Structure 1
Amino acid sequence: MEAQEYLRLTGTVEHIVYQKEESGFTVLELASDGELITVVGEMPGVAEGEELVLTGTYVAHPTFGSQFRVSVYERQLPATAGAIYKYLAAGAIKGIGPALARRIVDRFGENTLDVMEKAPEQLCQVKGVSQRKAEEIAQEFKRIFGVRAVMLFLSKYQIHSSVCVRVWKKWAAMAVDVIRENPYVLCRADIGLDFDQADGIARSMDIAPDDPRRIAAGLQFVLSHNLGNGHTCLPAETLIKVAGTLLEVDRAALELGLEDLSRENELVVCSCGGRDFVFLPELYAAETYIAGRMALILSSYPDLGQTYDRQIDALQEQLGIVYESRQRKAITMALNNGVFILTGGPGTGKTTIINAIIELFEQRGDKVMLAAPTGRAAKRMSELTGRQSKTIHRLLEVDFRDGAGTVFKRDERNTLPADVIVVDEMSMVDTLLFQSLLRAMKLGCRLVMVGDTDQLPSVGPGNVLRDI
């Protein structure tokens, strides 16, 4: 297969067809050498009137035809009065529309952008621009230049533009100074740069291999990496061994780094069974919360040994079936306890038991809500129970906020209106999702968990069903 030939295009942005703020993905029309070219790629913040230098390839889209797909782009502010007017009139700077853009450019011409950057008070000479308005324009101009500065700074390290956007949203005008102070902050979960890339930046800044900043980042990276392997923590001995191989530094430096991170609450060291285990704070908090909340639910419903033979017999007659002794025992346990776990492989009668549990809870006047970790599992649960089932994310009303991870609208302050929650395929539920579910349960809500510990484990960290 032949390697793609990369080309360079220089031109002016004539029209922004589409732009997604979160990722920076943009479709625009570029005027280059008398031709209008459709350009696609991640170019956050690009506005009409800007001059761009693009590196990329031509591709053939099945619907939209020939397009220039950008791999690398450089931005240059417009230099002529006409280009500056188009840039401002397109809304590149918040607060300036076409009419005001015309008055400003008529007054300052090719010096317009210099005035905004270096002497914004002169904007008050333009009709309709108060001192407050001039300050707002100056602040917006600085913000835009801040994004450019971050992208220019990181571009020499071949950092993806989407990472640049997250960096700017995190630290704004301080971003470049923050990175120069400690390039390993780019490994944070909310920024998402790989440790090796951050390490390369650090080497270019002559940061020593045994620098405390590098050791701290390496320890945190090893823990974060192991979340993908399902681990919520690592034995301290294992962490130090793996980090030592990654960083190629001596054990004493790693132990000192771990002590510093623990003291600063960047990592949590917990002793259990004579061994030290190391957690990322978020995972330690989640496991601690789960243990405490489960204990609270269990203590709220002590099993008093109440029997439900009459209700189960009536249900048998209603449905025309006969429950085996183990099924009757399971149904009774579910009705007597605040937490009930039903496990077993395919064909063991779990569905029959769950339908009975749901029916008897509803006969008592309890509101039952059903959920599963995946859409497929939720659909199957609905088909088998004849009741609505949702994914756990949908049940908790997920709100994917850029830069803030997964956020749920349902929590302690906005609990679910359920007396009983039944969760199927529990083996696929990870620690953080289970914590979110428990936080959304009102006090007194019961929990029924169904699953098979031999089935697929969760994608995220933790093996909740097996551990419980």
Structure 2
Amino acid sequence: MENGYDEQELLEPYVLGTVQHVIFRNEENGYTVAKVKIKESIPAFEETTTTIVGILPTVEANERYRFSGEIKQHPRFGTQYQVVSYQKEIPTERSALIDYLSSDRFPYIGPKTAEKLVDRFGARVIDEVLERPEALEKIPGLNEEKRKQIRTAMLENQGMEHAMTLLVRYGFGTDLGVKIYNQYREQTLDIIQHDPYQLVWDVDGVGFTKADRLGENTGIQKNDPSRLKAGVLFELYERTMQDGHVYIPKQQLLDSAEQLLADPAVTIDQQELKLVLQELVNEERVQIDDSRVYIASLYFAEKGFSSRVHKLQEEAEEKEYSQADLLQALGEVEEKFDIEYADQQKEAIQTAMEKPLMLLTGGPGTGKTTIIRAIVEVYASLYDISLDPSEYSGKKPFPVLLAAPTGRAAKRMKESTGLRAVTIHKLLGFSGEGENELFEKDEYEPLEGELLIVDEVSMVDMWLANQLIRAVPKGMKVIFVGDEDQLPSVGPGQVLGDLLEAGTIPTVSLSVVYRQTNQSSIVELAHAMKEGGLPDDFEQPFEDRRFFPCSKSQVADVVEKTCAGAIRKGYDPMDIQVLAPMYRGEAGIHALNERLQEMFNPRTPQKRSVTFGDAVYQKDDIVLQLVNNGEEGIYNGDKGVLETVFEAKETVDKEMQVVFSFDEKEVSYTRQDLKQITLAYCTSIHKAQGSEFPIVVVPMLMSYRRMLRRNLLYTAITRAKDYLILCGEKEAFMYAVKQESKNERYSYLKERLKHREEDPEDQA
């Protein structure tokens, strides 16, 4: 041993030195830049000082530390030492260690107590006390309160460094380590050592496998109830969130949890898992309905939604107009817009007027947008309502509410109707994130207005659908609009599909493709794919569509050349959207984004940039918002442009600021906020749902096979407004349209809609 470290540790790269001063620190995420005077290092440095960078939230000036990491060359700042883990250097010689422990760093430890601690534990005294709290019981003269005070002082002084060292040793990165420490603070070590599975629920980025590795290293038995409970709950959450299920059949859950928890060292009996499942029910984290196992919030969302739908229909008021009034209003609207509605369209308008709730469905070119506008106009005419926003001020609400799941879909509603349209989240007054999500509007503070139209309902998951319907007051008319052939929501459920199959809400399905869009070969292609085939002219070029056959290795070149050609023709980069089914691989989203970023916005020293993770963002880059940010009014799926980057030294609060514009709204993000965005040159098809783009490029390969579905391809091609470019293997397109994907999700909403149930909250 030397300096308290074993031989293996000394062979690994490290820097041992004293921090001279901290140059910069982001207090939010712990990112730190500091100057260090080197005492010793492997490999040796030519200079006597170096700059260290990394997640170092507790590093202080005039303290000595041992840093593990590697030397990096920064293009702007030169040689730096990138720190992976670090630990405060502790004296190892007896008298120096006694002085160290009895200093002001450790309240409650005097010279005599320090001497007892050193004589008992030696140079590892702090490690022993932090890792084994019971170790202090072996020191004579310390009562329980004194032992607690000593350990608390050590936790406050060295707890984070110690926790970080353990976490890095067990495979957690420094970023994740800081996130864990910020969650638990001085309790971090105790939770790591005694309840590591708690991390799965409390810390984003920690899955069961990581927590299980931690549990194994800290001595938790494989059949420990905390491990079994975590395994069952994790499997329920994982299958719900990854596969979109609202519930999981009980036996399937037990089987998959048993597989997850399996270990050669111990036999896991399903009877034990059933007991654990019942404990989760008792803790109100899980609900079991017959043989269906739900995350508690999803159970109440499913029951609450169906109950509210029934209630709104039962509470419907008698209409205040005659059939003659309706026909007159319809005629006035036809005259106003110089249009003659077809019988199917008139049926949709009439049903919307007569029923409290209605479903309007249809594919591209069937006139859904036309009917939305007609419904608003006829309703206003029937009830003598002004649609001039200037006439509504103060407490008088505008009578028509238009909403959609994404900002771009809401923008399309606004363009087609001339009226204000917002995201569903904004309509409901959403704020916060994660467990702190809040909605201002609910049954106690309902929406104000008379008519609510919600577009792109196929994108709405079970949670959001319930949040929306519970905020609808008695007497408000609700129109749900969507395309049943598009992808279901990213989140749990298949709300639109269940509503259609239940048949309890009046529905009009638009099927006729109208004259103004008949010339669109994109629309014709979409309808052919909907029927499960490709048209005979699939490979022929059209004015608005082309197919370029190419291999996997050629896809990136074809995509780049296609986009470059569009730019030469005068299209703006924001007009062009590449949509791919998968993230990984040479033709995946990540690789295509890198390629297209270099093509659309070549990196230059003159443009300000910021590195976050593996991505480099610079001025003029197009980005995609990944989460709802109610505080800024920016929502999942919104596209923006990076305007500029301000270094920490240029801002008042000494923190880097990255400025983006989203539809002319400027928002300023810190470095840590960049986890909310990604490059948007190529996105997933799910992320593009609800949006339209002048030019859409869709690569499709058989290597994507496991992702290929008819509704995935259908959703992709119907995003194209003016021009569609398909590339890749024809076989992949043929395969995709043959893969039906209906009823793949476990949901009981259809049955609940068919049979009236009490709202679970009413029963409570």
Call closer, same or farther: CA 1:347–1:258 in 2, change over 3 Å: same
Alignment correspondent of 1:456: 487
> Corresponding residue for 2:34?
29
Structure 2 match to 1:370: 402
| 2-structure distance, mates of 1:277, 1:294 | 22
* Matching residue's letter, 2:355: N
Cα displacement string for residues 252-297 of structure 1 (whole angstroms, at most 9, x for unaligned residues): 22223223322332321112xxxx0101112212222222222232
Q: Is 1:301 aligned with 2:332?
A: no
Picking from 245, 262, 271, the partner of 1:252 is 271
Structure 1: distance between partners of 2:20 and 2:488: 49
Give the secondary structure class of the aligned counterpart of 1:228.
helix
Determine if the alignment matches structure 1 residue 420 to structure 2 residue 433: no
Unaligned runs of 5+ in 1: 1-5, 80-109, 121-138
CA contact (8 A) 2:31 2:54 kept: yes
**Is contact 2:107–2:153 with CA below 8 Å preserved after alignment?**
no
CA distance in 1, matches of 2:446, 2:157: 40
* Cα deviation digits, residues 117-160 of structure 1 (max 9, x gap): 3159xxxxxxxxxxxxxxxxxx9997675545543443432323
Aligned counterpart, 1:115 = 104
Distance 2:20 2:300 in 1: 49
Tell me which amino acid in the other structure corresponds to 1:251: Q
Q: Residue 220 of structure 2 aligns to a residue in which SS?
A: coil
Aligned-partner SS, 1:448: strand
Amino acid at match of 1:309: L
- Secondary structure of 2:243's partner? coil
On the 8 A contact 2:183/2:202 being kept in 1, the answer is no
Deviation readout 1:161-197 (Å, 9 max, x if unpaired)? 4444444454443343344333211211555411111
Name the SS for the 2:244 alignment partner. Answer: coil
Change (3 A) 1:218 1:424: same
How many Å apart are 1:223 and its aligned residue?
Answer: 0.9
Write the distance in 2 (CA, Å) between the matches of 1:69 and 1:396: 48
Which of 226, 235, 241 is the aligned partner of 2:255?
A: 241
Inter-partner Cα distance in structure 2 for 1:411 and 1:241:
38
Aligned to 1:340: 358
Structure 2 match to 1:391:
423
1:211 matched residue in structure 2: 224
Q: Pairwise mapping of residues 308-347 of structure 1 onto structure 2 (< 5 A)?
A: 308-347=326-365
Q: Paired residue for 1:17? A: 24
Contact 1:25 1:44 in 2 (8 A): yes
What secondary structure does 2:277 align onto? helix
Question: How many Å separate the matches in 2 of 1:278 and 1:221?
Answer: 13
Q: Deviations over 1:41-82 (max 9, x none)?
A: 4334555555554444455666x4446474512142899xxx
2:55–2:178: 8 Å Cα contact kept in structure 1?
A: no
Superposition map of 1:78-227 within 5 A: 114-115=103-104, 117-119=106-108, 147-148=160-161, 150-188=163-201, 190-226=203-239, 227=241
Q: Deviations over 1:95-127 (max 9, x none)?
A: xxxxxxxxxxxxxxx97994253159xxxxxxx
* Letter in structure 1 aligned against 2:221: A
Aligned 8 A contact 2:407 2:423 in 1: yes
* Aligned 8 A contact 1:42 1:70 in 2: no
Partner of 1:283: 298
Cα distance in 2 for partners of 1:204, 1:289 equals 43
The alignment partner of 1:117 has SS state of: coil
Higher mean alpha-carbon deviation, 429-438 vs 24-33, is at 24-33
Aligned to 2:84: 72
Given candidates 273, 289, 314, the residue that maps to 1:270 is: 289
Q: Tell me how far apart the structure 1 counterparts of residues 177 and 484 of structure 2 sit (CA, whole Å).
A: 42
Determine the C-alpha separation between the residues in 2 that align with 1:255 and 1:169.
34
Corresponding residue of 2:511: none
Query: How far apart in 1 are the matches of 2:451 and 2:182?
Result: 40
Q: Which consecutive unaligned segments of at least 5 residues does structure 2 have?
A: 1-11, 39-46, 92-98, 110-151, 263-267, 386-397, 500-764
**Partner amino acid, structure 2, of 1:269:** I
Change in CA separation of 1:375 and 1:304 when aligned onto 2, cut-off 3 Å: closer
Distance 2:270 2:247 in 1: 20
State the TM-score, normalizing by the size of structure 2. 0.48
TM-score computed with the length of structure 1 as normaliser: 0.75
Provide the C-alpha distance between the structure 2 equivalents of 1:445 and 1:145, rounded to a whole number of angstroms.
59
Greater relative contact order (Cα < 8 A, sep 6+)? 2
Q: Distance in 2 between matches of 1:247 and 1:217?
A: 10
- Tell me, yes or no, if the aligned pair for 2:14 and 2:67 is still in contact at 8 Å: yes
Alpha-carbon separation, structure 1, partners of 2:49 and 2:402 = 54
Q: Is the 8 A contact 1:368 1:420 kept in 2?
A: yes
User: Paired residue for 1:232, among 246, 258, 271?
Assistant: 246
Count matched residues: 409
Deviation string, structure 1 residues 207-240 (Cα, Å, up to 9, x no partner): 3323322221111111111121111210001111
- What CA distance in whole angstroms lies between the structure 1 residues aligned with 2:61 and 2:470? 46
Secondary structure of 2:197's counterpart equals helix
Structure having the larger proportion of residues in helix: 1
Pair 176,112 (structure 1): closer, same or farther in 2 beyond 3 Å = closer
Cα distance in structure 2, aligned partners of 1:67 and 1:362: 69
Q: How big is each residue's C-alpha offset from its partner over 1:309-342, in whole Å with a ceiling of 9 and x where there is no partner? A: 2211111111111112221221122223332221
Deviations 1:413-468 (A, max 9, x none): 65444433322111111122223333444554433221112112211111221122
In structure 1, distance between residues paired with 2:49 and 2:376 = 63
Q: Which residue of 2 aligns with 1:107?
A: none
Is the CA contact (8 Å cut-off) linking 2:236 and 2:248 kept in structure 1?
A: yes
